[in-house]
Structure 1
Amino acid sequence: MEAKVQERIEKTVLRILEESDMEEMTEHKIRKQAATELDLDLSQPPYKAFVKQVVQSFLEQQQDQEEEEGEQRGDGRKEYDDGGDLIICRLSEKRRVTIQDFRGKTLVSIREYYKKDGKELPTSKAVLARIVKAAMVKDILAMVIVGLLSCGNLWKLQLKEMK
């Protein structure tokens, strides 16, 4: 693949990524739109691999920027469990609300834990809610708080400050 063609593909793909809704866009859609704009067949393996590389690089940059912005906004005191899941709040000594990735899906988990050999391990007792969009986190947490209020258990809730 020629350097000029690579440069044209990269510029087009990056422009499409910057203008797109990342919740709706897929690599296939990006490749198809770029192919239409460039009048090239980007479904061939070398082009397909190059587009994938550009998309992954863009996503990694976006993630790094979001992490940097999060560190600048917050004081960096987020708490994580032994499995690397973000702890949103502790409902009791044995129960907590976490955000976790499981098989490529982001979940809000309300789960009981037990201690074994100094580690906190999850039990099978859990309530899981799949997060399709980031905005759903607030809605799910609001439902958890309303549920706790209705049960009279809010006094046990020790919310972590989310920034």
Structure 2
Amino acid sequence: MASDDTETEKRIEEAVLDILKESDMASMTESKVRAEAAKRLGLDLSVRHRKKFVRKVVESFLTTKEEEAVAEEKEEVEEGEEEVGEEEEEADKRVLGNRQYECDDSGDPIICALSSKRRVTLQEFRGKTLVSIRDFYEKDGKQLPSSQGISLTEEQGRHSAMQFQLLKMPLNKLRDLLIDSVPSFAPHATPTTNPFLYVRPFLKFC
């Protein structure tokens, strides 16, 4: 069986690959590739063993191209899934003011976690934004708010936050500040009203 030496086969392979890379694969055929390679090399590539060798090079080239196309398509799909994942992650967050908050499984922004099972969140109810301090429980892999807790308006929430800070102060200073503050968030209070009455409801959530 006739065959060419390694050097001749290498020249044929390089010529065929160059032609394939330069050509429009939609219109190129094996016979056209073989004819162009024969012209460039000055060799007769129509003989049986050379024709088979050219076919082998062409098929190898096409297989490689197909594998590259599949790999590229797979990469694009993975990138698309990654982008979707990022978009879903962003959808689980809300921007309030200049801060971005993570949302719970109900879609409510989490302001802070008071413990592993207690959170402060914001909820929309009848057109109003409420500050909700509630215990959470797990169901079907999700953290859901229980009925144990309290919901405050934004203004009440601001006052409760102030009260949490005040509770850290010495008792005598705390009382003086609360006495000054009571009229602002409890207009119905009288000068003799015990200011600690307005703090007590929140103590169990500290």
TM range (shorter): 0.3 to 0.5
Which structure carries more relative contact order (alpha carbon 8 Å, separation 6+)?
A: 1
Give 1 or 2 for the bigger CA radius of gyration: 2
TM-score when normalising by structure 2: 0.36
Indicate the structure with greater helix content.
2
TM-score when normalising by structure 1: 0.46
